[in-house]
């Protein structure tokens, strides 16, 4: 019998504010956190959650992960259970790049002032596993702990890995998610050089005028737990992480495979993993980057995987409200999906106005709309795709 994995806590730092509530409530209300062509977390003050020493020893992506994890762990009521079963609690936090601001700062010191100016903290600040390590250290978690690196699919891969860890019996709970803070000189210039980011600075997924993604930053962390363990300690179950699958295009370093063949297969496998089919899907939280290539191939993949059902299901992109959070995107969007299902609402794809031939799904333009009531939980898919051809799909029920 497969162990059921439930979500008992969520925490987010996003361009819509600090906290999972700010993320979902402001998105549903149609508010956008993008300013001056970037989705910055302007409200985030690390010292609200971290000690001065913790903050000094964490790059911004890890600081955000620590804050998001603290929120999720508090909601889950997990703190009261530790440290008795701490060896049964894991921590997996993905990132696309890791501590890029620290890398750039120390590179500058090296060039300007020489080797002895480089900080002894440089490596622990920039390493991609720093967020997972910091969260485990703060909360005394002793189960399996590591970072996941798969570009813009990292957050979803981390949640998938965490789910499998619980199903396999290696952990009873896993604090899992993604974090990214790469709005830096090098990253912004590099994404612009490859013409991946939007010259207009507008994120409008699936709209004919879309011209690239808008870079964002933030973190999303969830507490995943084996259902029996969660119920035994009286935790409130927010949702079930019911299915997960990952595939790879094996096609191109940055471009998605145009027919979305492997993305479609990931969707089909995630549904199969959940024991569900296309008819069961009530909402799709799309990867929807606002790049010309992704939004087209994702639409093709959804049609291939869901058939006729693809035209009936609302499909919206969180990136229209916060930009592309890269390695944090999959986790922050999973949280948005959980909260959208709980509120029985499909949040809108902001800015969508002009249709493009072939991009003919219900992208929820204009304003949020209610999801149809049905017996039992509603089911959603959350897609994440990353440079390198990584496809990770989560199936969430609430």
Catalytic residue list: 152, 287, 324
Number of residues that bind other proteins (CB under 8 A): 11
How far apart are alpha carbons 366 and 261 in whole angstroms? 30
Q: How far is the CB of 57 from other proteins (least distance, A)?
A: 7
Binding span for other proteins by CB under 8 A among 75-83, 119-127, 154-162, 335-343: 119-127
Q: Which among 88-96, 114-122, 282-290, 315-323 is the span making contact with other proteins, rule CB under 8 A?
A: 114-122
Instruction: Give kind and range of the element (H or E) at residue 89.
Output: strand 89-94
Distances (CA, A) of 253 to 101, 104, 154, 176, 248: 24, 24, 16, 27, 11
Smaller CB separation from other proteins, 114 or 234: 114
Q: Is 218 helix (H, G, I), strand (E, B) or coil?
A: strand
* 2's tokens: 């497969």
- 133 membership: H or E segment, kind and range: helix 130-139
**Among residues 57 and 343, whose Cβ is nearest to other proteins?**
57
Site string for other proteins, 3-42 (x = CB under 8 A): ----------------------------------------
Residue 63 or 337: which CB sits closer to other proteins? 63
Closest separation in Å from C-beta 216 to other proteins: 29
Q: Which of 82, 85, 121, 304 binds other proteins (CB under 8 A)?
A: 121
* Residue 120 interacting with other proteins (CB under 8 A): yes
Nearer to other proteins, 51 or 254 (CB): 51
Sign of the Cα pseudo-torsion (31, 37, 42, 44, in order): positive
**Per-residue b/e over 110-140, b at no fewer than 16 CB within 10 Å?**
eeeeeeeeeeeebebbbbbbbbbbbbbebbe
| Interface of this chain with other proteins, residues 49 to 78, rule: CB under 8 A | 51-53, 56-57
What is the distance in angstroms between the CA of the first residue and the CA of the last residue of the chain? 21
The smaller minimum CB distance to other proteins, of residues 52 and 373, is found at 52
Quote the CA–CA distance of 347 and 101 in Å, as a whole number: 33
Instruction: Give the number of other CB atoms < 10 A from CB of residue 48.
Output: 10
> Can residue 119 be called a binding residue for other proteins (CB under 8 A)?
yes
Tell me the window of 111-119, 200-208, 227-235, 367-375 that interacts with other proteins (CB under 8 A): 111-119
Q: Which stretches of the chain bind other proteins, using CB under 8 A?
A: 51-53, 56-57, 116-117, 119-121, 124
């Amino acid at each position: 019998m497969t162990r059921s994995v439930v979500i008992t806590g969520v925490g987010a730092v996003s361009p819509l504010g600090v906290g999972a509530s700010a993320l979902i409530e402001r998105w549903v209300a149609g508010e956008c956190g993008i300013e001056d062509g970037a989705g910055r977390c302007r409200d985030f003050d690390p010292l609200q959650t971290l000690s001065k020493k913790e903050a000094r020893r964490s790059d911004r992506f890890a600081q955000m992960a620590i804050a998001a994890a603290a929120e999720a762990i508090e909601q889950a009521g997990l703190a009261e259970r530790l440290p008795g079963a701490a060896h049964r609690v894991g921590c997996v936090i993905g990132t696309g790049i890791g501590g890029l601001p620290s890398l750039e700062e120390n590179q500058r010191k090296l060039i300007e002032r020489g080797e002895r100016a480089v900080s002894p903290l440089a490596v622990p600040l920039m390493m991609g596993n720093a967020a997972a390590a910091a969260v485990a250290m703060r909360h005394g978690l002793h189960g399996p702990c590591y970072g996941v690196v798969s570009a813009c699919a990292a957050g979803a891969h981390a949640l998938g890995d965490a789910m499998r860890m619980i199903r396999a019996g290696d952990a009873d709970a896993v604090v899992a998610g993604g974090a990214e803070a790469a709005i830096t000189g090098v990253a912004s210039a590099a994404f612009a050089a490859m013409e991946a980011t939007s010259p207009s600075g507008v994120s409008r997924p699936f709209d004919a005028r879309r011209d690239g993604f808008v870079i964002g930053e933030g973190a999303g962390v969830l507490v995943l737990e084996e259902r029996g363990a969660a119920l035994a300690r009286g935790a409130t179950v927010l949702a079930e992480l019911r299915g997960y699958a990952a595939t790879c295009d094996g096609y191109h370093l940055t471009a998605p495979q145009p027919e979305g063949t492997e993305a479609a297969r990931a969707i089909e496998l995630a549904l199969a993993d959940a024991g569900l089919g296309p008819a069961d899907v009530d909402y799709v939280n799309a990867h929807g980057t606002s790049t010309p290539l992704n939004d087209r191939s994702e639409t093709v993949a959804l049609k291939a995987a869901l058939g006729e059902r693809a035209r009936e299901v609302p499909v919206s992109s969180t990136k229209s409200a916060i930009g592309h959070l890269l390695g944090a995107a999959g986790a922050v969007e999973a949280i948005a999906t959980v909260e959208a299902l709980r509120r029985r609402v499909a949040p809108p794809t902001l800015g969508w106005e002009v249709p493009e031939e072939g991009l003919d799904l219900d992208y929820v333009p204009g304003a949020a709309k209610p999801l149809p009531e049905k017996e039992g939980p509603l089911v959603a898919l959350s897609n994440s795709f990353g440079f390198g051809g990584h496809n990770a799909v989560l199936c969430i029920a609430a």
